[in-house]
Each structure stands twice: as structure tokens, then as C-alpha cells.
């Protein structure tokens, strides 16, 4: 098999890249190890930055998002029983975010890919990338038990943190931090208890109220790193959420049937560079952020937009300039997101070894955001997203 761009992985990065290349008249083949149902159901991110929303619209993949997604103009910070709303448009010159789940983004992009007739091979596992430093890189893969080779002009590894592409970048450097806590996340069939997201800092740990639709809530609790989701009954989860969201006013948490429960570890990770020869890494294959601040999916979108633009530029002008700048261009934005996600994580979570002094500092940082327009603007700009490219 032969193509211009071999894409490994049909998560948001790989699927969007295939669409952007199709729109630019560049052919590609997408290889995905899991089946379609698995990819469409995997519960992950829920918040799209303004720039991601714009990209999906421009790519012709925003129709259902515009119909069913929920535009959010702010978030609430909750600490010390207080509530503080951060107003995004007022602080950023009109920017906002969209609540539209990663599962739905993937479903929309898969449907478009099938409609446009581009190869998207599920249950096809990439085994290795070979010849990345030649003009004809290859992806060795296995499909229905048979090994085969995809010959390409370029390979983009969109295969997530556990993929194979990264190992074909020699002499890379990694920067990593793990956190001594995880998130226990639930989906519940109940209308969200607030019309915007609530990020709560509490002495018992962080809690987040989010949503998937006007009738489905998504909630998270900070739990110790080695937590087994089965140790948390539904009642225990709701009781704990209630305590962490407590306020001085009459706000109440609505409870409902829990339909999904899982634990997500927290990690910061960057692999540099994000390119070796004709192999490019995009999304979680190159970097991970802790979920606080909802940057993971949005970073993946930034990477593939940068790659698609660079390749279209090369096709139009013959110049490799933008491809050569790919890693540097992406890493600048990646590190801003790493910084923001780290700041949000340390601002809102209770470290097991935190001293009373550090607890007070956390509250002082939150109070600063709530009382200084400059500090609040910094958060609003980062949350609604850094420019791509
Ligand atoms: P992925 O979505 O990981 O896609 C990679 C794809 O490659 C997968 O479909 C995988 O099956 C496939 N693949 C892997 N190896 C191979 C192979 N060898 N051959 C072929 N295919 C392969 N972000 C947020 O902003 N908010 C959240 O709440 C949030 N929750 C998360 C929960 C979990 C459990 C995880 C893991 C991540 C979460 N994230 C969250 C991060 C966000 O979902 C990711 O940043 C986003 O999915 C990145 O997209 P991607 O396409 O780069 O990678
Ligand atoms: C969601 C996840 C996040 O990490 C976040 O900061 C906000 C919302 C979510 O899954 O809805």
C-alpha cells in the first residue's frame, strides 16, 4: 500500500489531520488499532477552545457541534466556601469555549472520512515506523493477522502516549512529572447542577463539575494515585462531591444514576523534538498534560493544524521551511499549555504532603485571581486558548 501521508492513530489528532489533508487535496491512510465502536465511545475530554471550534468549522466538521455543543462564556472557581465567576468574553475580547465531547468530535470526523471515501483502517495495528530519515518512510502494520507495509512520503504519529511512533525518534529528550493523585470521573444521567463548569479547591481535595449535555453531568474527584474505581460506591462519590462543592449560599448538587466510572492518572510529559526526518509526532504521542484546564485535545488539534499547513505550503511552494519549523512551532504552544495545566493542577489539588503554609498560598493565589483583573485575564486567556502557529 502507498500514500502521501501515513497517519497512525484515529483519535482526534489523526482523524482531524486526515480531514485537513483531504481538504488540501493531499491523500492519506489512517491506521487504527482499535475498532470503530471503541474509538467512538472512549470517554475523555469535553472542552473545546475557541481556536479548536474555529478549526473544526473551517474544516467542515462543525455542523453538529454548532447545533448540539454548548457555548460557555465562563467558569466558576470555588474555594473557602466562596464562588467566583471568570467571565471569558469580557476578559479576552470576546473569546469563549465550547462543551462538546471528544467522543462526538471523533464520531463526526469518522463519518466525514467515510463519506469522503478516504482509507480509515480500524483494527489495524502499526508495529513500527522505518526509514524515517529517508525520502520513503514506511509503517509496518498488522491487519487480520497479516503483516503488511504502508509506504509514505511522510508519517505522522498520532498514536497517543502508548503508541509506537515516538520510539522511532532517536536521541529524543523527555521532560516528565507525575502527580501523587488521580481523577475519579463519573458520567451521570442528571441535569448539570450549574450552567457553567465549577472548579473547586477544598481541603479534602479538588472537584470539578462539568457536563456533556443539558441532561448529562460529568464530574471528577481528586483521589489518591492508586485508587480502584470499584472502591467508590455511587453514594460515596456523591457524598464526597457534595462536601467539596460546599458554599455559603444555598447551592445544591443534583444526584442521578451513574452510568460510567473511571480513574485517570495525572502526568505532565513532553518529548523533544517532535520530528525526526519525515516522521512527525502529534498530540498525546508527543506530550501529555494533567487534565486540569482541559488542554490535551486542544493541543493535539494545534499540532495537526501546524503540520497540515506546513505540508500544504510545501506542496504549493516546494519549500520545506514550515515543515522544518514544525517541532519548534508546536513546542512553544505545548510548553504554554504545560505551564497552564501545571499551574491549574497545583492551584486546585491538595498534595498529600502539603504544609499548612502551602495551603494558605493556594488560597492566596485563588484570592488574587478573584480580586485582580490582570490575574484573572491571564487565566481567561490561557483557558480559552493560545493561538495556533
Ligand atoms: P488519542 O486520543 O490517545 O488517540 C490515539 C489513537 O491511536 C487511539 O485511537 C489509539 O487506539 C491509537 N493507537 C495507539 N497505538 C496504535 C498503534 N500501534 N497502531 C494504530 N493505532 C494506535 N483531556 C482533556 O482535555 N480533558 C479530559 O477530561 C481528559 N480526560 C482524559 C482521560 C484519559 C483516560 C486519557 C488517556 C486522556 C484524557 N484527556 C483529557 C486527554 C485527551 O483526551 C487527549 O489529549 C486526546 O485524546 C489526544 O488525542 P490524540 O489523538 O493525540 O491521542
Ligand atoms: C472536562 C475535563 C477537564 O479536564 C476540564 O478541565 C474540564 C472539563 C470534561 O471532561 O468535561
DSSP-based three-state secondary structure for 20: helix
Express each pLDDT in 210-229 by its tens digit: 999 999 999 999 999 999 99
Judged by phi (left if over 0) then psi (alpha if -120 to 50, else beta), residue 383 lies in alpha
Which residue has 456523591 as its cell numbers?
238
Q: Is the pLDDT of residue 387 over 90?
A: no
Task: Tell which phi-psi region holds residue 93, choosing left (phi > 0), alpha (psi between -120 and 50) or beta.
Answer: left
Closest-CA residue to 66 (of 78, 54, 76, 74)? 54
- Mean pLDDT, the chain, rounded, equals 97
Burial 11-50 (b: 16+ CB within 10 A, else e): bbbbbbbbbbbbeeebebbbbbbbebeebeeebbbbbbbb
Cβ neighbour number for residue 364 with a 10 Å cutoff: 9
Q: Is 345 in the pocket of ligand 2 (CB under 6 A)?
A: no
The DSSP code sequence of 24-52 is TT--EEEE-SS-HHHHHH-----EE-HHH
What pLDDT is stored for residue 388 in this prediction? 81
CA torsion 295-298-300-305 (nearest 10°) is: -150
Number of C-beta neighbours around residue 300 at 10 A = 28
How many A from CA of 47 to the centre of ligand 2?
6
Evaluate if residue 389 carries a pLDDT over 80: no
Closest to 272 measured CA to CA, from 328, 338, 192, 227: 328
Q: What whole-number percentage of the chain has pLDDT above 70?
A: 100
| Cβ–Cβ < 8 Å for 150, 172 | no
Q: What is the pLDDT of residues 181-201, one digit of tens each?
A: 999 999 999 999 999 999 999
Confidence check: pLDDT of 84 > 90: yes
**CA of 345, nearest ligand number:** 2
Report how far residue 72's alpha carbon sits from residue 70's, in angstroms, rounded to the nearest whole number: 6
CA of 78 relative to ligand 1 center, distance in Å? 29
Q: How does pLDDT run across 98-156, given as a tens digit for each residue?
A: 999 999 999 999 999 999 998 999 999 999 999 999 999 999 999 999 999 999 999 99
The vertex-295 CA angle with 195 and 53, nearest 5°, equals 65
Tell me the CA–centroid distance for residue 152 and ligand 1, in Å: 23
What pLDDT score does 364 carry?
Answer: 97
284 alpha carbon, closest ligand: 1
Mean pLDDT of 48-56: 96
E-strand ranges in 144-247 read: 146-151, 154-157, 173-188, 197-201, 207-213, 216-224
How many helical (H) and strand (E) elements, i.e. helices and strands, does the chain have?
A: 11, 20
Architecture of domain 5-70+98-174+267-345: 3-Layer(bba) Sandwich (3.50)
pLDDT of residue 105: 97
* Chain centre distance of CA 8: 17
How large is the average pLDDT for residues 2-20?
98
**What CATH architecture is 177-266+349-384?**
2-Layer Sandwich (3.30)
What is the pLDDT at residue 325?
98
List the domain boundaries for the chain: 5-70+98-174+267-345, 177-266+349-384
297 lines ligand 2 (CB under 6 A): no
Residue 82 to residues 77, 254, 341, 364, Cα–Cα distance (Å):
8, 19, 23, 13
Q: 100 CB contacts (<8 Å, ≥6 apart)?
A: 46, 48, 65, 68, 69, 70
pLDDT of 171 above 90: no
From the CB of residue 331, how many other CB atoms can be counted at a distance below 10 Å? 19
Q: Distance between CA 93 and CA 228 in Å, rounded?
A: 43
How much is the pLDDT for 365?
98
Residue 180 clears pLDDT 80, i.e. is over it: yes
Amino acid at each position: 500500500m502507498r500514500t502521501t501521508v501515513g497517519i497512525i492513530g484515529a483519535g482526534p489528532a489523526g482523524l482531524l489531520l486526515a480531514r485537513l489533508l483531504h481538504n488540501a487535496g493531499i491523500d492519506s491512510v489512517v491506521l487504527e488499532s482499535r475498532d470503530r465502536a471503541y474509538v467512538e465511545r472512549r470517554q475523555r475530554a469535553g472542552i473545546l477552545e475557541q481556536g479548536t471550534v474555529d478549526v473544526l468549522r473551517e474544516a467542515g466538521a462543525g455542523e453538529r457541534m454548532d447545533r448540539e455543543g454548548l457555548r460557555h462564556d465562563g467558569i466558576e472557581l470555588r474555594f473557602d466556601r466562596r464562588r467566583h465567576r471568570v467571565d471569558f468574553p469580557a476578559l479576552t475580547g470576546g473569546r469563549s469555549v465550547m462543551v462538546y465531547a471528544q467522543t462526538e468530535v471523533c464520531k463526526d470526523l469518522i463519518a466525514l472520512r467515510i463519506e469522503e471515501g478516504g482509507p480509515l483502517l480500524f483494527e489495524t495495528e502499526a508495529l513500527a515506523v522505518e526509514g524515517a530519515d529517508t525520502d520513503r518512510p514506511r509503517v509496518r502494520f498488522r491487519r487480520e493477522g497479516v503483516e503488511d507495509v504502508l509506504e509514505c512520503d511522510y508519517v505522522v504519529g498520532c498514536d497517543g502516549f502508548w503508541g509506537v511512533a515516538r520510539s522511532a525518534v532517536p536521541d529524543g529528550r523527555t521532560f516528565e512529572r507525575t502527580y501523587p493523585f488521580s481523577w475519579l470521573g463519573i458520567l451521570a444521567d442528571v441535569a448539570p447542577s450549574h450552567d457553567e463548569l465549577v472548579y473547586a479547591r477544598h481541603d479534602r481535595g479538588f472537584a470539578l463539575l462539568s457536563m456533556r449535555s443539558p441532561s448529562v453531568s460529568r464530574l471528577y474527584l481528586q483521589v489518591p494515585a492508586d485508587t480502584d474505581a470499584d472502591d467508590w460506591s455511587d453514594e460515596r462519590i456523591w457524598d464526597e462531591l457534595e462536601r467539596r462543592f460546599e458554599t455559603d449560599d444555598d447551592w445544591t448538587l443534583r444526584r442521578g444514576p451513574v452510568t460510567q466510572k473511571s480513574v485517570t492518572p495525572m502526568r505532565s510529559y513532553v518529548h523533544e523534538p517532535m520530528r525526526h526526518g519525515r516522521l512527525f509526532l502529534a498530540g498525546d504521542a508527543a506530550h501529555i498534560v494533567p487534565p486540569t484546564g482541559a488542554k490535551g485535545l486542544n493541543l493535539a488539534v494545534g499540532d495537526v493544524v501546524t503540520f497540515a499547513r506546513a505540508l500544504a505550503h510545501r506542496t504549493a511552494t516546494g519549500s520545506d521551511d514550515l515543515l522544518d519549523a514544525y517541532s519548534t512551532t508546536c513546542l512553544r504552544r505545548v510548553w504554554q499549555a504545560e505551564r497552564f495545566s501545571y499551574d491549574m493542577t497545583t492551584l486546585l489539588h491538595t498534595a498529600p504532603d502539603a504544609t499548612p503554609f502551602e495551603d494558605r498560598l493556594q488560597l492566596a493565589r485563588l484570592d488574587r485571581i478573584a480580586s485582580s483583573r490582570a490575574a484573572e485575564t491571564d487565566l481567561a486567556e490561557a483557558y480559552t486558548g493560545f493561538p495556533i502557529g
